[in-house]
Structure 1
Amino acid sequence: MLATFYTCSYNTPIGYLNLAATDTHLVSCLFSDIAYPTSPEQPAVLKQTIDQLDEYFAGTRRQFDLPLQPEGTDFQKKVWDNLYTIPFGKTVSYMAVARAVSGEKAIRAVGAANGKNPICLIVPCHRVIGSDGSLTGYAGGLWRKEWLLKHEGILKPTQQLALF
């Protein structure tokens, strides 16, 4: 039996987060400049996601607690599981993630998996930066990555990491 998918958009200070879920799990959370149509029915997981996003953007939530079901390869899921452990207010390098999941030679594969993370923000791929401290790669746009890192107190409001 095929799963039913439900969609909605959450308006953030930096664009929409388009959300998709099954009856029981969040499967996608991606930044966009346009909103998804909203499904007439909304499962509890989407309501929980919106409540937790409200708290995150209000500055009162540091860790998401949602049932997630991202679609990807075993390697991608291993990378995303590692990203999920990066604490609020901290960053790690792509190399550190590569070492943790497969070894230094996997750095390019880690970067590719990071870029294909279907549950951005909640699985905090924005907290992965270059070894030199640069903000490299973010599917939602580097300006959003910078905003999120400032929101989390990693960057000071007047500070900007090198974008390239």
Structure 2
Amino acid sequence: MFNAVIDAPFGKVGIRTADGAVREIVYLPESTHSVDPDCALAERAIAQIERYFASAQADFDLPLAPRGTAFQRSVWDGICAIEAGEVLTYGALAKRIGSISARAVGQACGSNPFPIVIPCHRVVSASGIGGFAHHGGDGFFRDVKRWLLTHEGVTLR
């Protein structure tokens, strides 16, 4: 169950909360039924995500549940340092955070439980857009990544 499901320009966004923190943000297909927020935190998350949809420069200040391994958290912290409208390759992010493995960075990006808030869409392959949310190839998730990057003014070669 989601605490809220809202319309997004690319489908829907589902939000799960618990114990005073956002537990997960999920991209969902347009066919998913909307769910009105059932708590103040879900309302706050919706307001901030909708503000991002209106302006890619919007900031987030949501309480996020502690998730992931120490390495994943270091990758997610590195992602948060990438400004809207900028991208880094998996390899460049790996170097920035002191890792030797672009592949491990890519896996951590795909495991991000808070997309949009932790903007993993800003990390791309050296040869193009890369995968998204552990989904390779074209389809819904890569279309979401394309929309997010375009929304931020990024043009990939």
Same fold per superposition (TM over 0.5) = yes
Cα-to-partner distance string for 1:12-46 (whole Å, 9 max, x where unaligned): 0101111111242112111011537748731x221
TM-score norm. by structure 2 comes to 0.84
Cα-to-partner distance string for 1:74-99 (whole Å, 9 max, x where unaligned): 11111111111211111111112111
Say whether the 8 Å CA contact 2:76–2:118 is kept in structure 1: yes
Kindly, what percent of the aligned residue pairs are identical? 34
TM-score norm. by structure 1 comes to 0.81
Secondary structure class of the residue paired with 1:131:
coil
Is 1:129–2:124 an aligned residue pair? yes
Say whether the 8 Å CA contact 2:56–2:152 is kept in structure 1: no
Once residues 36 and 83 of structure 1 are traced to their aligned partners in structure 2, the CA distance between those partners, rounded to angstroms, is: 30
Pair 1:37–1:56, CA change in 2 (3 A): closer
What's the Cα RMSD here? Answer: 2.2
What are the ranges of 5 or more consecutive residues in structure 2 without an aligned counterpart?
Answer: 134-139
Deviates more, 1:26-35 or 1:118-127: 26-35
Q: CA deviation at 1:106?
A: 1.9
Give the number of the structure whose alpha-carbon radius of gyration is greater: 1
Q: How many residues align?
A: 150
What are the ranges of 5 or more consecutive residues in structure 1 without an aligned counterpart?
Answer: 156-160
Pair 1:23–1:128, CA change in 2 (3 A): same
